[in-house]
Amino acid sequence: MAERKVPESDACSDSESELDKGNEKGKQIIDVDPNTTIATAKIQKNEPEDPKEEECLFHSQMWVKGSPLQFIVDSGNQKNLISAEVVKRLGLLTIAHPQPYTIRWLHQGWDLCVSQQCHLPYNIKPFTDEVLCDISPLEVCDVLLGQPYLWKRHVVYESRSRAVIVTLGNRLYRIPEVAPPTAISLITAKQCSKLISKTGKLFS
């Protein structure tokens, strides 16, 4: 896993530096003017080999107390979530949620109050980190990392290489994709939507 030092004083330059690295094949980055009404260049559309790749959620693996946990990075989720079953199985410490909220399980006909959180210490060699997660039933993964994690760690998603880059201190770490060792491999956003419909899981 590659790592690279960046200046501590310019956290916003992390993603820009990574974009500069993308110029390996001699492609020129052209600055655009959003205020101009006439386009001066044609957009060349490069379709992925598999159209479904554009819809795939990002899966990878972290380690907690020597056990592998499958996680999904989802920018469309407003919470960081950890499976209640995982918390119980690993004996993780919990704390009271400062602002409890409700998840509605439509097919069960009842509401579940999310009232606990967990400071999840994890490692992905060579780095260690900790993320605050709400404890909730999860069926598609062990941990779901949403917008709070993406914001805090300045996450950059590399769609072609299927990897995410996270910022820790003054270092960048690239996390490759790891397919989950279950019947549910790489699911698309549409498939995930169908799965949510079947489970009746909905934030209210």
SS3 track for the chain:
CCEEECCCCCCCHHHHHHHHHHHHHCCCCCCCCCCCCCCCCCCCCCCCCCHHHHHECEEEEEEECCEEEEEEECCCCCCCEEEHHHHHHHCCCCEEEEEEEEEEECCCCEEEEEEEEEEEEEEECCEEEEEEEEEECCCCCCEEECHHHHHHCCCEEECCCCEEEEEECCEEEEEECCCCCCCCCCCEHHHHHHHHHHHCEEEC
pLDDT tens string 58-97: 999 999 999 999 999 998 889 999 999 999 999 999 999 9
Which CATH architecture best describes the domain 52-203?
Answer: Beta Barrel (2.40)
Per the prediction, the chain carries an average pLDDT of: 75
pLDDT tens string 46-55: 555 554 555 5
